[in-house]
A = this chain, B = another copy of it.
């Protein structure tokens, strides 16, 4: 298992007239968390695209428990529970600064070779980094 946390400050333009963050803005926050998780592993999603691997989203699920508000400093927790193959599944939890759980989510993304348009295996560099975290566990 590999967990990572990042922080996001809610922008005014991300709220709606209900006074909360619009429900459709959380996928953006999830994306930020995924990217920062990769960076924490020494990897760059930007570079991955340049290397010819894109990562379109196949499914998204969100359960909204409570609402984020303007200027909240959110903690976005992202979790990998299993090693990726052709697909990679991320779990998310968003908390506000009073540690209230606001929503939980899940996305499945697929590694796609941009030239062939076909699904591809996760890049070596990603697997090498991730295996450190998952090997440790299986050893236990």
Contacts and interface: CB of A to CB of B under 8 A. Distances in A.
B63 A56 contact: no
A17 interface: yes
A70 B31 contact: no
A40 interface: no
A41 to B, nearest CB: 15
A29 to B, nearest CB: 9
Interface stretch (A18-26, A94-102, A126-134): A18-26
A139 to B, nearest CB: 34
B17 A16 contact: yes
Nearest to A20: B56
Interface in A1-50: 9, 11-13, 15-20, 22-28, 31-32, 35, 44-46
Interface of A: 9, 11-13, 15-20, 22-28, 31-32, 35, 44-46, 54, 56-64, 67, 70-71
